[in-house]
Structure 1
């Protein structure tokens, strides 16, 4: 795949007025969420839940791409049709999570490094053959007393850049996800400083590794106060701080920005995304890249709570999933409102 083709795929994913659905939870994470709603924690319920998502009617009207996990990309419907084929036939581009998770970073207590570079070239070739056309790698940056360290930001930025270069070599669009975590008591201003410093480090490494920016998607956190911060900013204040940070550090050549939800409540994530796109459409804003979404729980959670592992609840769960996707598509146009939640 040429760089022009990579750029075209990236545009399809984030420049088409739709967003991404992250259904790439590891088996362990998926099982924890199943346990919380009383669903069985084995492979067959995981497969059945993924079939529920992949076969949701009209999902492609709001979702351009779906990020899968290694188990998921090899699974299929009960009739044997692979999920990759189901998604592709529906007009949704399949993608794949390729990192192997965050591990403690040696010499840096309280910080983590995302692993998975060993053998990645061969795994990317395999995923391309299976049908994936983009990939995702998540780095986590914690805020705390003396954190993050330069060593942590640098190590994760370098790993993200090496991953991105390998993806482009294999013909896959890399989603670059440096997530500044919400946990902590930090203020919005502190999150803004850390987010900007992290993104500076990431783009410096992407440049050093020869990554073509037109063929990547950035998946950042929104700029938010810590979960335990006593001062809570308004939706408009969060949107303004986030857009301001991105304008300071993200090159115009980047294909697009797809925000992670990071555990935000579904409706709040939609409202904040909507406020950012209102800024993008305001007079004189002229943002150089589209602002989209790449949500997991903020789309899936209502459906999961309805389904709870019960086949008779599939249709109702699909309706809830489609509703959240529609709400977030509306947010990309600055047309989301709380009234949509009552329809």
Structure 2
């Protein structure tokens, strides 16, 4: 009976058209290259507007273009950044002089282009404020367009909340199904999917509670990934680290956070997945780097464990820039200092002190 079942599985898999599998494997592995990780520059127009407002700049197309060009043109970006997640506007955006595409600077450095494809989180009907993510309806059409435009991976964020120590089974199953369907759709159209089940830092839950629900979420996710015929070798995971909630005063050491995080992965994550790129989730720049380094010091691991940071790569850069042309070089230096620090953290070699901000970047119920 077992042999018959295996034969049926092999036959089923062989008749599924999977023309991108080799490319998907290469992309997922390349993103986890030693000493490198992802810059998440996929903030929506509204979210980047808030960042610009913090430095007294208007949310104009020109300012958004100027800032993203600053990041992408940072000298040596390809030494620490393997991939960049883009917002759709940026993928098709021309530089300020109109002579080239904004993303050409990334291509010239060998940085892999990625794209945010979800359409944001909404409240799950008849729930206690739990969330679901929109965007599946026309995803196949958009994935084809993004692939043709040069993207080779995608990202979809799902949001889960620990409330009174619990995440509902409904929320977990909704997250698992949506992420797996997204992943399958991406792979059918040539994009390596990053699945991001983010358990928010909001709340007073303990480290142990965060670890427990991280494990439960990942088990459900990878069961559904199997149901949806997702090629794990051509996919990536972007999870939260296991850390106490922001309102919990019993803060843990980087080593304890790391052990809880690695334990959760060892219990739930198939070794076929080549690359895990952690989200920063509102940690300060320094915290995000030190936690990642502590995680990698516990290696070797069966996966590459790296970063996919937005706020934790950009705060010092934005503060240095202030929207002024004369500050571009200093801002790029600040960005590259954080990129280099996180590249070292991916190797387990970062011990702090790279001029990063220690200010918390937490925002309650963060959406972008």
Report if TM-score (shorter chain) is over 0.5. Answer: yes
Contiguous gaps of at least 5 residues in structure 2: 1-18, 357-368
Picking from 232, 242, 246, the partner of 1:227 is 246
1:64-94 per-residue CA deviation (whole Å, 9 max, x = no partner) reads 0000001111113223311232211111011
Q: Name the TM-score, length of structure 1 as normaliser.
A: 0.96
1:237 corresponds in structure 2 to: 256
- Quote the residue 2:292 is aligned against: 273
In the alignment, what sits opposite 2:133?
A: 114
| Bigger CA radius of gyration | 2
State the secondary structure of the residue aligned to 2:42: coil
Gaps (5+ residues) in structure 1? 282-286
Aligned to 1:202: 221
Are 2:29 and 1:14 equivalent residues in the alignment? no
Q: TM-score if structure 2 supplies the norm length?
A: 0.90
Asked whether the equivalents of residues 30 and 82 of structure 2 are also in contact (C-alpha less than 8 Å), the reply is: yes
Could you say what secondary structure the match of 1:175 adopts?
strand
Number of corresponding residues: 337
Counterpart of 2:96 (choices 64, 69, 78) is: 78
1:1-343 → structure 2 map (5 Å cutoff): 2-80=20-98, 81-145=100-164, 147-281=166-300, 287-341=301-355
CA deviations over 1:291-325 (Å, ceiling 9, x no partner)? 01101111111101111211111111000000000
Q: Deviations over 1:210-246 (max 9, x none)?
A: 0000000100000010000010000100001000000
Q: Equivalent residue of 1:341, what SS?
A: coil
1:293 aligns to what SS in structure 2?
strand
CA deviation after TM superposition for structure 1 residue 2, in Å: 2.5
Cα displacement string for residues 47-69 of structure 1 (whole angstroms, at most 9, x for unaligned residues): 11000011000010000000000
SS at match of 1:110: coil
Moved over 3 A (4+): 339-342
Deviations 1:2-58 (A, max 9, x none): 212210111111134310000000011110111122121111101110000110000
Q: Conserved in 1, the CA contact under 8 Å of 2:162 and 2:203? A: yes
- Matches of 1:312 and 1:115, distance apart in 2: 41
Paired residues of 2:202 and 2:246 also in contact (CA < 8 A): yes
